[in-house]
Amino acid sequence: MNFSKFSEELPDMSVSVGNLTLSSPLIIASGVWPHEAKFWREPYTNGVGAICSKGLTRHPRSGNKGTRIWETSSGLLNSIGLQNSGIEAFVAEELPEISGNQVPVVVNLAIETLEEAEEGLILLKSAKEHIAAIELNVSCPNVDFGGMAWGVSEEGIAQVLGAARPLWEGELWVKLTPQVSNLVDVAKVAQEMGADALVVANTWLGMAIDVDRKKPVFERVVAGLSGPAVFPLALKCVYEAAGAVSIPVIGCGGVSCGNDALAMLLAGAVAVEVGSMLLHDLLCMAEIHDQVRRKLTDWNASSVRDIIGKGRSEGF
């Protein structure tokens, strides 16, 4: 690595996540992007390395009733309820539309029961040539464990990967929940059980009360908090996870500008997911990408890969 000599060439923005090479370290997070072909092409994909699908379930889901999104002073609360058309419809109707646009498709698979997860992976295998990676969402309640999310315990993570890893030969990511007593221990188990990468982290649980109505905003009371409010928390999680495992860590949570993305990379993430910011600006990925590249140019860095993890030591 040589930062001493300025290069007239623009910094190389490509990164590797396991065996997957992305043209940009920026990934569109699950849950925010339409499954319509026009949104998987330029200009919407400028600066984008990959796009995660909405959270998919074995069978169609209509989502939660009542209020689904509530804006806070520094973020968003959401209680969408995994509204989706189901894996069969996704494979037959949606995936062919979105997979031919040169942007890698990462399929977010919501783990509700092990049986349905296994069935879902078998269905997805029929279209594996169109899928760059599977992202396992382990934040869903596990009815066999009293409704706790799969990802809050080492045992839950081990069960999920024990079922999923034998069924999927390609890249298998695990999107961890931050609602866990020891993220590092869970991350280590995920690595031991065969995860190719970790996405750190999913939303934090929060709530809102409608003062005028004098009652909780959401029918389920709690909801997922995302946006700038959670960025410092997510950054800490990334820093801890990246120091504990040898597999790639993908940062996720509250990223809204180039400096946020750079901080995630410096903390040890190899790529960064962006979600809530896209609800404000569908074209923000290009601007974040340019902000990162301009900073790399200022640092005389030849590649974004040169800075990964450099915030863990004395810098450069």
Q: Give the mean model confidence (pLDDT) for residues 225-232.
A: 98
- What's the number of CA atoms in the CB half-sphere (13 Å) around residue 280? 17
- The DSSP-derived string for 241-301 is HHTT-SS-EEEESS--SHHHHHHHHHHT-SEEEE-THHHH-TTHHHHHHHHHHHHHHHTT-
User: Which of 140, 237, 252, 284 does the annotation list as catalytic?
Assistant: 140
Q: Write out the residue range of the structural domain in which residue 252 sits.
A: 15-62+83-202+227-312
Residue 304, in any domain of the structure: yes
Predicted local distance difference test score (pLDDT) of residue 143: 55
pLDDT exceeds 60 at position 265: yes
- Residue 284 is a catalytic residue: no
Q: Is residue 3 part of a domain?
A: no
How far lies 6's CA from each of 12, 165, 209, 298, 316, in Å? 14, 44, 53, 9, 15
Residue 207 placed within a domain: no
pLDDT given at position 6 = 43
Q: How many domains does the chain divide into? A: 1
Query: CA 262, CA 313: separation in Å to the nearest integer?
Result: 15
Domain of 263: which CATH number?
3.20.20.70
Say what the pLDDT of residue 16 is: 98
Does the reported pTM lie above 0.75?
yes
Confidence at residue 8, expressed as pLDDT on a 0 to 100 scale: 60
Question: What value does the mean pLDDT take over residues 154-179?
Answer: 97
173 domain-assigned:
yes
pLDDT confidence tier of residue 140, bands split at 50, 70 and 90: confident
| Residue pLDDT, tens place only, 94-122 | 999 999 888 999 999 999 999 999 999 99
C-alpha 78, offset from chain centre: 16
pLDDT at 87: 98
Average pLDDT of the chain to the nearest whole number? 94
